[in-house]
Chains A and B, each alone.
Chain A
Amino acid sequence: MTIPALRTEALRKSFNGVEVLHGIDLSIMPGETVCIVGASGSGKSTFLRCLNWLSPASSGHVYLNGELIGVRETAGGSVVPLAHKQLQEQRQRIGMVFQSFNLWPHRTALENVMEGPRIVLNQPGAQARATAERLLERVGLAERRDFYPAQLSGGQQQRVAIARALAMKPEVILFDEPTSALDPELVGEVLAVMKELASEDTTMVVVTHEIGFAVEVADRLILMDGGQIIEDAPPRQFIEAPREERSRRFLDQVLSRGLAPVHTIHTSE
């Protein structure tokens, strides 16, 4: 039996006494692309941020390839927070792509991608540079490597951010609404890169509003509402025969806007 790349167990999260995640159990297998959809405030971004402990869960567990994330079990059987250094070692193995890109503005595209291998993994400069150049080429930005983020479009910045996450060779990559901050005409180039990653069996968890992308690329489509998982099914099944009434309502809402196909998109600039 394969161990899930990522698994949550009764994951709960409260902010100031208000519970926003009500015990989530989810397993993501290696190579799987899981898209999480849902209305704003459904808890999907919070859930994603619990997975790499950017937002520590209030209770419950996250396992990365079987290893407990963010906490450890003491000999006495109680669970205590992990020392910061160990937590940072775990985070190296979980990539994250943010809605607002969060590229470091004082570093060029290449430097942004090199930063992890250079500073975190202590790779020699030449090796880190070679990796970064290869990854920038892969996201179609080899020619922009010496540009600062301010000189790049949103779509280009997000592709650099994806390369930055890939540079750490993570076991799983989390995408937090990666196209929500983009102008509509720039969404496609980012989705195309993600689609390619998915086709190469990268383990991905994608919180998104791009239902068309989710249907086309995801192995599983998950609907969250009110801090719970409502539906968890392969996209076709999700769309054609959702089990839950709430899923049907959600689909009616988003499908009335139309499904934007992604397959016409090209990566090149």
Chain B
Amino acid sequence: MNFSHDLMTYAVPVLTKGALSTLKLGLLISVASLVFGVILSFGLAAPNRVLRRLSRGLIAAMRGIPPLILILIAFYVLPDLGVMLSPIAAGCGALIVYFSAYVAVAVRGALDAVPAGQIEAALSIGMTSRARMLRVIVPLAWPILLPALCGLLIGLFKETALLSIISVPELTFETKQAVARTYAPFEIYAMAALLYWAWSALLETLSRKLEAIANRHKNPGTRRRQGASS
């Protein structure tokens, strides 16, 4: 059997496809987790006690259950309750719920970390709650949130590997298929590892750029505007 021939013609396209699929799934789960996480973070501070308890309960559960178990429940248990989901829907749904909880905790923490004096200053000039949120709280919470959030999202990309267990055709699933077909575990797993690493490195770079932008007012010496000396 010609290893290099098989690797080039079979494994590389399959792994590329898997890597793109992982990217797509990762993005989908990230965006959805952000949306639900932000909603859940407001649930954590809701005036309604029932809502607050529900949010806290959901988060506690998500922090205590391994994501793999959630995926298996979504795929194998929900059909018994009459909810039939495709592997992609079940898997993504489970990971979205799982990561939403972590996003919610991070968002809540960042919002609560905005110093009270900043909010009092906004109150004292008469800002409405909406202006306070948009002009003061969010811009100040954002740089606090960003490192935690980026860490979470990078972790999320790697956790999509779990979806292979229910045959979602992402990078790990395709890798296993390719290994079974080519009997070249070393080369193929190495390629898969490098591909995961590439995505993580890309996200890491991106997050560092975002953090630099979010924190620019903290070391403005490098970005003094025109007119500062006028």
Q: What residues of chain A have their CB less than 8 Å away from a CB belonging to chain B? A: 52, 54, 84-85, 88-96, 98, 100, 102-108, 115-116, 119-120, 143, 145-148, 150-151, 161, 164-165, 168
**A91 engages B217 (CB within 8 Å):** no
**B125 engages A165 (CB within 8 Å):** yes
A102 in complex: contacting residue of B120, B127, B230, CB < 8 Å: B120
The listed residue with most A CB atoms (<10 A of its CB), out of B118, B121, B230, is B121
Q: Is B209 an interface residue (CB 8 A)?
A: no
**A96 engages B124 (CB within 8 Å):** yes
Q: How far is the CA of A147 from the CA of B122 in the complex (A)?
A: 20
Q: Is B184 an interface residue (CB 8 A)?
A: no
**A120 engages B140 (CB within 8 Å):** no
Chain A residues, Cβ within 8 Å of B124: 52, 54, 91, 94-96, 98, 165
Q: How far is the CA of A91 from the CA of B128 in the complex (A)?
A: 10
Q: Is B5 an interface residue (CB 8 A)?
A: no
Chain B residues, Cβ within 8 Å of A120: 125-128, 131
Q: How far is the CB of B136 from chain A (nearest CB, A)?
A: 6
**A92 engages B126 (CB within 8 Å):** yes
Q: How far is the CB of A117 from chain B (nearest CB, A)?
A: 9
Q: How far is the CA of A11 from the CA of B40 in the complex (A)?
A: 40
B135 in complex: contacting residue of A115, A164, A168, CB < 8 Å: A115
Q: How far is the CA of A104 from the CA of B115 in the complex (A)?
A: 10
Q: How far is the CA of A161 from the CA of B228 in the complex (A)?
A: 19
**A146 engages B135 (CB within 8 Å):** no
**B220 engages A148 (CB within 8 Å):** yes
Q: How far is the CA of A94 from the CA of B123 in the complex (A)?
A: 11
A168 in complex: contacting residue of B126, B139, B221, CB < 8 Å: B126
Q: How far is the CB of A109 from chain B (nearest CB, A)?
A: 10
Q: Which residue of B lies closest to A88 (CB)?
A: B126
Chain B residues, Cβ within 8 Å of A88: 123, 126-128
Q: What residues of chain B have their CB less than 8 Å away from a CB belonging to chain A? A: 115, 117-118, 120-129, 131, 135-136, 139-140, 217-221, 224-230
- Given that A103-B121, A115-B135, A119-B135 are known contacts, is A148 also in contact with B127, CB under 8 Å in the complex? no
- List 3 A-B pairs, minimum CB-CB distance, nearest first: A92-B126, A96-B124, A102-B121
Q: Which residue of A lies closest to B117 (CB)?
A: A102
A sample of 21 inter-chain contacts (CB < 8 A) reads A52-B124, A88-B127, A91-B124, A91-B126, A92-B125, A93-B126, A95-B125, A96-B121, A98-B117, A102-B117, A103-B121, A104-B118, A105-B217, A105-B218, A143-B230, A146-B226, A146-B228, A147-B224, A147-B228, A150-B220, A161-B121
B220 in complex: contacting residue of A89, A91, A104, A147, CB < 8 Å: A147
**A116 engages B224 (CB within 8 Å):** no
Q: How far is the CB of B172 from chain A (nearest CB, A)?
A: 41
**A106 engages B126 (CB within 8 Å):** no
The listed residue with most B CB atoms (<10 A of its CB), out of A107, A115, A143, A147, is A115
**A104 engages B136 (CB within 8 Å):** yes
A146 in complex: contacting residue of B127, B140, B224, CB < 8 Å: B224
Q: How far is the CA of A252 from the CA of B45 in the complex (A)?
A: 50
Chain B residues, Cβ within 8 Å of A108: 225
Q: How far is the CA of A212 from the CA of B121 in the complex (A)?
A: 28
**A151 engages B221 (CB within 8 Å):** yes
Q: How far is the CA of A85 from the CA of B115 in the complex (A)?
A: 22
**B224 engages A54 (CB within 8 Å):** no
**B227 engages A145 (CB within 8 Å):** yes
Chain B residues, Cβ within 8 Å of A94: 124
**B140 engages A105 (CB within 8 Å):** yes
**A98 engages B125 (CB within 8 Å):** no
**B117 engages A146 (CB within 8 Å):** no
Q: How far is the CA of A261 from the CA of B176 in the complex (A)?
A: 82
The listed residue with most A CB atoms (<10 A of its CB), out of B126, B139, B140, B218, is B126
B125 in complex: contacting residue of A84, A115, A150, A151, CB < 8 Å: A115
Chain A residues, Cβ within 8 Å of B131: 119-120
- Given that A85-B128, A104-B118, A119-B131 are known contacts, is A148 also in contact with B217, CB under 8 Å in the complex? yes
